[in-house]
Amino acid sequence: MCLGSFKLGTEFLADRDAILYHGECLDFLAGIPDRTARLVVTSPPYNIGKRYERRMKLDDYLKGQARVIKECVRVLAENGSICWQVGNFVDDNEIVPLDIALWPTFHELGLKLRNRIVWHFEHGLHCSRRFSGRYETIVWFTKSDEYVFNLDAVRVPQKYPGKKHFKGPRAGHYSCNPLGKNPGDIWIIPNVKHNHVEKTVHPCQFPVELIERLVLAMTKPGDWVLDPYMGVGTALAAAILNGRKGMGADTVAEYVNLARARVIAAHHGTLRVRPMNRPVYRPSGRERVSQNPFRNDSRSRR
């Protein structure tokens, strides 16, 4: 499919701008040449028993992931990055952090861990026998020590941009980088719940902002961004929005169709997204729902 100069495909062709494959990711990956993608970023099924997942034993899950990761490493450019975003496996009320369980697989393939990014959000299941989980992790690996990393593209506002050096040879000069500060490895970005502007039918989708930060930091314009478990195409949309090319696969036809529509909207500039670096909303206290109806109730002080 061509939309002017913008070309969509259903299998890998180097001259496409976006490729959306309906089928198993291993079948799709097999058709991609070595060292094609600058960035592989994905959120695989976590095997935690969500409604849309088929539960399997942890060992079998990890073996399946290892096969996919091995293929992703093959198609990754020598100066490329892999970002694997996962949560926790829950078994008999015990949690197993999947990023730690998957680390040996990446290590055995010769990749180096650069960051373990904590993605913090405020909405999720409410637990009664442990603290409610409000984070997931992104493990960022590279194939070599010479990897693409554009820090200036993802700097965030300083807390005190007017702060100056008070002594030494730079006394009186501003102490901060004028482009902002390093965002660090704890990212506070709202997850996509029912009232989120990006919400689709997918039960567990990426926020575009999360992937945009990775795309901008770890790729150059025109590079390929690959998501082997693309869902509704958030990674592809983030790539297209920022002048990159995107490709991915999913087994659910409805998700592939939604991904195609979102990629086209991203190309046309009509995709609705939450802007990057927008502060997380905090109620003022004047809203009725933010007022505590039990404040003067003696029962609340027992």
Tens digits of residue pLDDT in 122-166: 877 788 888 888 899 999 999 999 999 999 999 999 888 888 888
Give the confidence band of 287 by pLDDT, cuts at 50, 70, 90: confident
- Give CA–CA dist 6/296, Å, rounded: 61
Work out the mean pLDDT of the chain and round it to a whole number.
89
Give the strand pairing for 94-97 and 88-91.
Answer: antiparallel
The answer to whether the beta carbons of residues 221 and 243 sit under 8 Å apart is yes
Higher per-residue confidence, 7 vs 122: 7
Mean pLDDT, to the nearest integer, of 208-232? Answer: 97
Residue 171: the pLDDT is 82
The pLDDT value given to residue 52: 40
Rounded CA-CA distance 43/65 in Å is 11
Q: Is 50 exceeded by the pLDDT of residue 173? A: yes
With 90 as the cut, is the pLDDT of residue 11 above it? yes
Higher pLDDT, 245 or 296: 245
Query: How far is CA 164 from each of CA 47, 81, 155, 180, 271, rounded to the nearest angstrom?
Result: 50, 36, 19, 14, 40
Which stretches does DSSP call E strand in the chain? 2-3, 6-9, 18-22, 37-42, 76-86, 88-91, 94-97, 112-120, 135-142, 186-188, 224-227, 245-250
The pLDDT value recorded for residue 282 is 75
Give the pLDDT of residue 20: 98
Domains along the sequence of the chain with CATH: 2-148+185-278 (3.40.50.150)
pLDDT value at 48 more than 50: no
Tell me the pLDDT band of 267, cut-offs 50, 70 and 90: very high
pLDDT of residue 39: 99
- Model confidence at 249: pLDDT above 90: yes
pTM of the predicted model, to two decimals? Answer: 0.88
Neighbours of 200 (CB within 10 A): 18
Q: What's the chain's Rg over C-alpha atoms?
A: 21
Residue 293 or 42, more confident: 42
Helix 58-75 with 98-108: angle, nearest 10 deg: 50
Q: Which is more confident, 28 or 173?
A: 28
With 0-12 CB in 10 A as exposed, 13-18 as middle and 19+ as buried, what is 284?
exposed
Sign of CA dihedral 212, 18, 244, 113: positive
> In the predicted model, is pLDDT for residue 53 greater than 50?
no
Q: Is the pLDDT of residue 29 over 90?
A: yes
Tokens of 132: 């409610």
Structure tokens at 125: 């299941």
Contacts of 86 (CB under 8 A, 6+ apart): 43, 44, 46, 98, 99, 102, 136, 137, 139
| Rounded mean pLDDT, 71-75 | 99
User: What type of residue sits at position 181?
Assistant: K
- Among 151, 76, 139, residue whose Cα is nearest residue 112: 139
> What gap in Å lies between CA 37 and CA 157, rounded to an integer?
30
Question: 220, 197, 256, 204: which is closest to 22 by C-alpha?
Answer: 256
Q: What is the 3-state secondary structure (H, E, C) of 249-265?
A: EECCHHHHHHHHHHHHH
**What do you get for the CA distance between the two ends of the chain, in Å?**
66
What's the sign of the alpha-carbon dihedral 292, 293, 298, 302?
A: negative
pLDDT above 80 (res 198): no
Tell me what the mean pLDDT of segment 274-293 comes to. 78
Task: Please tell me the predicted confidence (pLDDT) of residue 141.
Answer: 99
